[in-house]
Structures are given as C-alpha cells and as structure tokens.
Amino acid sequence: MSAPSRKPPSAAPGEPDDLAGLVDRLMDSYLTGPRPMHHLGAYELPHMDEVVRCLEDIRALLFPGFVGEPMTGATRAEVRAHVRVRVGEVARRLRKQVYSGLHHRCKIATGTVHIADGDCEKCAQAADGITHRFLDALPEIREVLAADVEAHYEGDPAAKGTDEVIFCYPGLYAITAYRIANRLLREGASIIPRIITEWAHQKTGIDIHPGATIGRSLFIDHGTGIVVGETTVIGDRVRIYQGVTLGALSLPKATADAYRSKKRHPTIEDDVILYANATILGGDTVIGRGAVIGGNCWVTRSVPPGARITIDGHAVGPNGLTGGGSLSWRPSDGLKATCNAEKERRVFECMQAELQCKDDNHCGG
C-alpha cells in the first residue's frame, strides 16, 4: 500500500502560524490578482537603485569635484584616467538599464510580458545606440547646465557663489536630472527617463516631466511643489518660484488615451517670471514674452507679452498694448478683470487673461 500523500507544511520551521497564513494569502493574490501588479519569474526589469547610481555618476562627470570623488591635487593625466574609468562604468550600467526598459516595453507590445526569454537583439542594438549617443552629448549637456547655474546665481541674491548653487540648490538638482532624462528620452530610452525625474521629485519636491521642452538659463527658486507637465514648453531665461503648476486642464472620464499625443500643458515664452503658487493650465495657454504672473494666480487662457498679472488689484498692464492701462485680477470678484485702457483693446485684454468681465461700461459692451 502506498503511503498517503501529505500536504507540505505552509510554515517554515520556526515560522509563526499567523505569518504563514499571511504568506499564503499573498501568494494567492499573486495568482488571482491583477497581472500588472506583479512581475515574477520572467525577465529583468530596470532597477531603481541602479538608475539612481547612474544618475549620480553622470552628475559627477558634469560637476567633477563637486559631485563624486574628490579630485584634490589631481594632475590632468590623473583626471583624464579617472574620467575614462567613470565613463566606462556609466556606459556599462546605463546600457543595462536602458536595455531593460526597452525590453519591457517590447514585451508589453507583443503581449509576452510574463514569459521569460533570452536577450532581444533589436532591443540590445537600440540600447547600445541610445547609450552611446547620450554619453557623446555630455559636453553639450554640461554647457547648457552652466547657463542654468549662472541663472541661479544671478537670480538669487542669497547665493554667495556658483559653488553654493551646485552644492545646495534643489532647483539645480532637479534641472540637472531633467536635462539628463530629457536627452535619454529624445534618444529613444523608455522608463529610465521617468525614473530619473521621479527620483529628483522625491529628493527635491520638484516634479518635471522628462518630456517637457525647456530652454536655457532656467532659474527655479526654492522649488518645493513645482509641477511641469509632459508637453510644457518653457523658453529661455524663465524664473519659476515654489508651488507653480504648469499643468493640463481636467479631461473627461475615459478619454485620457485620446489626449496622450496632444499638447495639454502651457507654453511659457522667454523672460517670463512665475511667482509662488501660480497655476497655469491648458495646451492652448501661452504666457507671452516678459510677462509676470503673480503669486496664487489661476490662468487658463493666454496672457499677452509684457503683462503683469496679480490677484490684488494693483497689476500694471503690458506697455504698448494697453496704452499704459492696468490689468488686475480680483478673487473677490470671481477673477473679474478691470482695465483702464483704450476702449477697443479692453475686451481683448479681458479675454486674454481668462477673466469674465462683468462691467459692461468698462468693456464698452
């Protein structure tokens, strides 16, 4: 007679029964729960810690001596040897992470995300090319970041030097992470750019999507709570203060897919200043060159170049457009516009500021 079959014990030796029950329930949830909630027994995914290590090593190449190993007393030859080793290490590790991101997206596209297999030659070739082109662009990225560093120093009287900006400023950290991630994204990387900017988001409180388009000499002061959406376009020499949102208008339910390839976030032209907690929404919204958006303003339509927008009733309008008149936002009036300008320009001014003008005499209605 054969021995009766015995069910293997749920608990390991010395494991409490209540812990064993929890483990069993978790295992059951892996089998029966939503498939996107786990990734087990298949291929390797990108690894957050490795991506962050790549980011910090790239920062060390961009800001040598400030980030990474000290280079005290190093000769030119020693610096060159150090950079050569560092570039080789970054290339190897970054290439692996880029490949993992590409391969994962490839598996999703082919519906084989839970099937283990060997390396994908197409993804491997793409990862090689992306990594090579990105590393080749590091001198260019460094040049752009130099203008960002200078913009922070010039824009903040509290900064005692550019060294302090590089060491301390969360805005520069977030911009550096963005410029690295944006270049990787433009070269064709997947997932890795978003991991980089979300790490910077966790570290600084500044959320910049890697898909945003940002010009030169960006200055972010303080930075906490800033949000820059994926299709945002920011020009040169723009200053952004804490709490600013460059976002999208809310979408109808179940329509997000239809808007993924459309411009959903505003355009900020050159030399604009966005003060604390300003909210600017919508893909058709353009903040004209040299405009100033005051703290706590809510903007969902375009603002003309040179405008000064506040919510306290004391804003000065753009020279040359209003004839020296004023454009003020009053929250107690439901964001009503009040202007003292030539009559034929007044309706335009109110519409541009996305304010509902309620004074018929004022707007000549």
Res. 17: pLDDT tops 70: no
Determine, yes or no, domain membership for 68.
yes
Determine, yes or no, domain membership for 139.
yes
Q: Give the pLDDT score at 119.
A: 83
Determine the Cα–Cα distance for residues 93 and 175; give it in Å rounded to an integer. Answer: 22
Q: Are residues 273 and 292 in contact, defined by beta-carbon separation less than 8 angstroms?
A: yes
Determine, yes or no, domain membership for 121.
yes
Determine, yes or no, domain membership for 312.
no
Give the pLDDT band of residue 329 (cuts 50, 70, 90). very low
Quote the domain boundaries for residue 90. Answer: 40-205
What's the DSSP call for residue 37?
G
CATH code at position 91: 1.10.3130.10
Determine, yes or no, domain membership for 138.
yes
Q: From the centroid of its chain, how far is CA 168?
A: 19
Tens digit of each residue's pLDDT (9 = 90 or more) over 229-276: 999 999 999 999 999 999 999 877 667 777 788 999 999 999 999 999
Please count the CA atoms within 13 angstroms of the CA of 309 that sit on its side-chain side. 37
Q: Give the pLDDT score at 12.
A: 59
**Most trustworthy range by pLDDT among 109-123, 153-167, 247-261:** 153-167
The two three-digit tokens of residue 91, written as one number = 């290339």
Determine, yes or no, domain membership for 9.
no
pTM for this one?
0.82
Structural domains in the chain (count): 1
Tens digit of each residue's pLDDT (9 = 90 or more) over 190-241: 999 999 999 999 999 999 999 999 999 999 999 999 999 999 999 999 999 9
Tens digit of each residue's pLDDT (9 = 90 or more) over 298-321: 999 999 999 999 886 445 555 433
Determine, yes or no, domain membership for 212.
no
Give the pLDDT band of residue 1 (cuts 50, 70, 90). very low
Determine the Cα–Cα distance for residues 198 and 263; give it in Å rounded to an integer. Answer: 21
Determine the Cα–Cα distance for residues 318 and 269; give it in Å rounded to an integer. Answer: 15
